[in-house]
Amino acid sequence: MNEWISLAVSWLPFLLLIALWFWFARTSGMRARGSSGATMIELYEQQVAETRRTNDILERIATSLEKRA
């Protein structure tokens, strides 16, 4: 029984550190905003939309090059 208490006490600071890290990551992630004032999720969605537009343009370029050849 004494070994279990010793083990729990020795792991307690490490577990508290992990819990604090998760809490901080979660709370700061919810409030994170870019320089434009948009949330990180909005910025990611804008990035995905821009990537899709770029891919569409590249596909049209590739198609036109294939037609020329």
Q: Return the pLDDT at 26.
A: 76
Give tens-digit pLDDT for 19-64: 999 888 777 766 666 666 777 788 889 999 999 999 999 999 999 9
Instruction: Give the domain ranges of the chain.
Output: 1-31, 33-69
Whether the CB-CB separation of 32 and 39 falls below 8 Å is answered with yes
Q: What mean pLDDT comes out for the span 3-26? A: 89
C-alpha 4/C-alpha 8 separation (Å) is 6
Higher pLDDT, 3 or 53: 53
Among 12, 34, 31, smallest CA distance to 23 is for 31
Q: Which of 4-8, 11-15, 58-62 ranks highest by mean pLDDT?
A: 58-62
Q: Return the pLDDT at 33.
A: 62
- Collect all residues with Cβ–Cβ distance below 8 Å to 46 and sequence separation of at least 6: 38
